[in-house]
Chain A
Amino acid sequence: MRLGFLAPVLTFAVIAAVMAYALFFLNPKEIPSELVSKPAPEFKLDPVPDYGPGLETAHVKGGKITLLNVFASWCVACMVEHPTLMELSKGGKVEIFGLNYKDKPDAAAKWLGKHGDPYSRTGMDLNGRVGINFGVYGVPETFIMGPDGTIIDKIIGPITEKDLKTRILPRIQGSDS
């Protein structure tokens, strides 16, 4: 009991440690995705004018891993990950589908014309309902879709170098071999 006086100090230290962890390592903006390891919801969308054929559920069940990238011309953060997507698409290792979220068709087409088009197919989710079915709550988001159309993983926000190395590339390479 001689160390009893340390109790308040210890209590404080534990609380401080938990809070420091939450402050530096947890991101309150990242909501755990409910749909991971569940099948993709059914959808069928028209393409952005002049940008590839339309997009529907069958396309993300094509027997190989694909990326479903949620983007919009009004989304500033999408610019950050755009070069990464262009790079991925040039490498030809993975097919990338573009889900154009709550955008104006003309604006989306203009945006793709200006910055380049990494998508093999695009779909316009004009009223955002497909997005809601996918549990999208911000743009950009990127879904890594399994060969059978299962959502393997979801990247919230722009794809970072770390996301690319730890979450995307290993899976693409894994599916090749």
Chain B
Amino acid sequence: MFRTRLILPILLLLGSFFLAFSAGAVFVEERLPDPAEEKRARDIADGIRCLVCQNQSIMDSNADLAKDLRAVVRERVAAGDSDDQVRDFLVVRYGDWVLLNPPFKMRTLILWLGPLVVFVFAAIATILFLRRRAAPAVGQGGPAPLSAEEKADLEKLLADDEKDKT
């Protein structure tokens, strides 16, 4: 019993280590003088995919190219570009692929709507399946009641049975 009680705190402790670690992994080689601009640059960089390590943002990656791209983002921000202008600057060169959050447009329709379509399809299939299974019980309220004729037959049979026993 005391073992299971220990597990949770240990897990929490381990978890907090990882949390602290991932939060600490920010690469800063230069900093914009204006803290607001620096924050904006980092927020943008958080959404830019590192092209070398693919599933990391350029903010999380220590790849050389990621470093260069961070510098580009800071430069564009310092030059007064809006968030979208900075992203477009990179999209023109590397495609939508460079955005970790792909835009909603014709080419990405399957990506965005695919899961929804699958969900709706599965929901309809599930409802049909459950209905069919429940149909006999719900539709007729259990077995049909016996007709008068059947009742008479049943009574007769039961009476015969009694007679046999005695």
Which chain A residues have a beta carbon within 8 Å of chain B's beta carbons? 28-29, 31-35, 102, 127-129, 132-135, 137-138
Residues B74-105 near A (CB distance < 8 A) = 91-95, 97
Given A31-B97, A34-B91, A34-B93, A102 contacting B64 (CB threshold 8 A): yes
Interface size bucket, B side? 10 to 19
B69 within 8 A of partner (CB): yes
Q: In the assembled complex, which residues on chain B have CB atoms less than 8 Å from the CB atom of A129?
A: 68, 72
CB within 8 Å of A: which residues of B? 51-52, 54, 64-65, 68-69, 72, 91-95, 97
The chain A residue sitting closest to B125, CB to CB, is A7
Residues of chain B within 8 A of A32, CB atoms compared: 95, 97
**A48 to B69 alpha-carbon distance, docked (Å):** 24
Contacts of B92 in A (CB 8 A): 34
7 further contact pairs, Cβ within 8 A, besides A34-B93, A128-B68, A132-B68:
A31-B51, A33-B95, A34-B94, A127-B68, A132-B72, A135-B94, A138-B65
6 example contacts (A-B, Cβ-Cβ < 8 A) are as follows A102-B64, A132-B68, A132-B69, A132-B93, A135-B94, A138-B65
Q: Find out whether the CB atom of A137 lies under 8 angstroms from the CB atom of B51.
A: yes
Q: In the complex where A28-B54, A132-B69, A137-B52 touch, is A34 in contact with B95 (Cβ < 8 A)?
A: yes
Q: Which of A33, A102, A128, A138 contacts B52 (CB 8 A)?
A: A138
Q: How far is the CA of A45 from the CA of B97 in the complex (A)?
A: 28
Interface centre among B52, B69, B93, B95 (most CB of A within 10 A): B93
Residue of chain A at shortest CB distance from B68: A128
B94 touching A133, Cβ below 8 Å: no
Q: Which of A31, A132, A138 contacts B95 (CB 8 A)?
A: A31
- The interface residues of chain A lying within 8 Å CB-to-CB of B97 are 31-32
Give, as a whole number of angstroms, the nearest-CB distance from B130 to chain A.
Answer: 15
